[in-house]
Amino acid sequence: MDHQVVREAPDDRWEVEALYDLAFGPGREGLSSYRLREGRAPLADQCLVMRDTDGLLAGAVRSWPVTVGGAAAVLFGPIAVHPTRQGEGLGAILMYHSMEAARDAGWSRMMLVGDHGYYRRYGFSPLEDVKMPPPTNPARVLGHDLTPCAWDGVAGDVRPAD
């Protein structure tokens, strides 16, 4: 079945929130990455939804601006695929669309908190000198160069962008 990836519209908000609740549970907003998002707007050009030909929401992703030691970065996620659609490669499609949107918007680096075993296929690697708010397992803080060597020499605390 074909899927269309488009920018999230204001009318999609509650449907996307429901998908995130389904995928991550009601306690998802207690995660450290949510503290970096609180009270801040996501990057509208990097908030994407995927719908099937019937218009049903199959997946969604949002990203936020942050700084790491003063350097600008995209905090990728959350990303979710509806449980009935998992295993179809939809997460990969959303991932690649999100990285392309960030590059097109002029961003040079992207980061996330996740499993390196999964995200390394997209070019993410551990950011040993980057500190997320606690409680975050440092081994799960990953970065991807959207432009060559963008993470070289970048270190410090992750903070919300002003």
More confident residue, 39 or 16: 16
**pLDDT reported for residue 25:** 76
Q: Locate the domains of the chain by residue range.
A: 3-160
pTM, entire model: 0.91
Q: Report whether 36 contacts 162 (CB < 8 A).
A: no
Share of the chain above pLDDT 90, in %: 75
Beta carbons within 10 angstroms of residue 130's beta carbon:
21
For residue 118, give the 3-state DSSP assignment: helix
C-beta of residue 4 within 8 angstroms of C-beta of residue 57? no
- Can you read off the two tokens belonging to residue 137? 């397992």
- Rounded to an integer, what distance in angstroms lies between the CA atom of residue 57 and that of residue 148? 34
Q: Distance between CA atoms of 14 and 18, rounded to whole angstroms?
A: 6
CA distance 158 to 133: 7
Q: Using 50, 70 and 90 to split pLDDT, how confident is the model at 91?
A: very high
Task: Give the CA angle between residues 13, 61, 161 to the nearest 5°.
Answer: 90
CATH of region 3-160, choose from 3.30.1510.10, 3.40.630.30, 2.60.40.10, 3.40.50.150 = 3.40.630.30
Mean pLDDT to the nearest integer, 90-107? 95
For 104: left if phi > 0, alpha if psi spans -120 to 50, otherwise beta; the answer is alpha
Kindly indicate the confidence band of residue 27, based on its pLDDT and cuts at 50, 70 and 90: low
Least confident of 2-6, 71-75, 83-87, 104-108: 2-6
